[in-house]
Amino acid sequence: MKKIYMANLIDPHGSSQLKPLYVDDAAERQRLSAEALALPSILVSSATAGNAVMLGGGYFTPLDGYMNKEDALLVGQSMQTTSGIFWPTPVLNLVADATALNVGDRIALIDPNVDGGPVLAIQQVTSIETFTDAELDLLIQQVYGTNDKEHPGVAEFLAQGNTAIGGPIQVLNFSYFDTEFPDTFRTAVQIRSAIADMGWSRIVAFQTRNPMHRAHEELCRMAMERLGADGLVIHMLLGKVKPGDIPAPVRDASIRKMIELYFPVNSALITGYGFDMLYAGPREALLHAVFRQNMGATHFIIGRDHAGVGDYYEPFGAQDIFDQIPKDALKIEIFMADHTAYSKKLDKVVMMREAPNHSKDDFILLSGTAVREMLGKGLAPPAEFSRPEVAQILMDYYQQSS
């Protein structure tokens, strides 16, 4: 992995340089892979694997591995580690049983998402600590804003176990992400390098776990124009999502078609990252900002119900939380966006708060359920809602999966 740290790019979070934990030297990686065969091993959770991929790619700079219990509890309480690093969500290796392990061990972390169970990383165990039920309950409430086991993020967190294995890691590969998404998966190191190659200095990042419809497209265009940005980085989640969400390959194809047809050449980078969705609303919005700063973006779009699910969060809670953190916690700037929709009165997509003298009937508003039903029947949503070429990709997916 080529390491490029351009002086004119935004500094990574809490550091003057990125800290990717992937072992870049091929000979050293081979040596560690051989060592791993003789080490105690554990099959980690998908969430733990995603944390390793993010640590490996430099997205979680300046962390050097999995948090211990004290760090995790402090992150839950005050969004900082014991060393004073601002961090909004715990980065843990949680297991149900660690009785076979000891502090001081070097252990091989087995990837749960790749056939054959390859070693994803080697961890130096510096702590093995169990959360009490009360501690876990409080941590979940602080991070997710709820303890409801029906919340998909809470359910996934609880399924991992209550024992945290802390310590630094050496990452040996990027799981399935670079093989299944070779054109899209990029590390923070690679995105910084691409930004430097493009000569951009003001960069807007857009997070998505969904296909991009006209409202998303125009929101990105608005942000770029208002901020005087040189370029846009569309950064899509490639990991696990909840049932009903559209799979990453379909999202990838639809977004690529939109950029190809409707954006100027060399104005946008289409990239993705290897992480499972937390659905943690405001706290996850902060995490998203951290790793967008690490990948080199200067500005980040936060819209309505960012990283939310169901009715667990206030519509603009993910924006409000940025007013509740220290002003120097992050260098990246936030572009606060309202809900965007097509105005029949103005004949264009607008932010709804910027459209006076409008009622709901003046906008083309479709629920996710309604859109899925239309696509499943082979009916394209209105052109004002979705580009026809994008809609066709989504119709093909829904009809094949029905």
User: What is the rounded distance in angstroms from the CA atom of residue 287 to the CA atom of residue 54?
Assistant: 12
Alpha carbon distance 22, 15 (integer Å) = 17
The tokens describing 202, both together, are 């003001």
Catalytic residue among 29, 106, 202, 209: 209
Residue from 210, 221, 256, 304 carrying the catalytic annotation: 210
What is the rounded CA–CA span in Å between residue 88 and residue 237? 18
Q: What are residue 344's DSSP bridge partners?
A: none
Q: What single string gives the DSSP state of each residue in 176-199?
A: THHHH-TTTB--HHHHHHHHHHHT
* Secondary structure class of 96 (helix, strand, coil): coil
What is the SS3 assignment for 127-164?
A: EEEECCHHHHHHHHHHHHCCCCCCCHHHHHHHHCCCEE
**In whole angstroms, how far apart are CA 10 and each of 122, 295, 332, 359?**
30, 9, 8, 41
The residue type at 104: G
8 A C-beta contact, residue 342 and residue 364: yes
DSSP SS3 for 222: helix
Cα separation, 165 vs 69, in Å, equals 9
Contact (CB, 8 A) for 188 and 20: yes
Say whether 209 is catalytic: yes
CA end-to-end span of the chain, whole Å? 41
| Residue 173 is among the residues annotated as catalytic for this protein | no
Which two tokens mark 126? 């510096």
Tokens at residue 187, please? Answer: 């590390």
For strand 348-351 and strand 94-95, is the pairing parallel, antiparallel, or unpaired?
Answer: unpaired
> CA-CA distance, 11 to 36, in Å (whole number)?
34
Amino acid identity of residue 393, one-letter, is: I
Residues involved in catalysis: 209-210
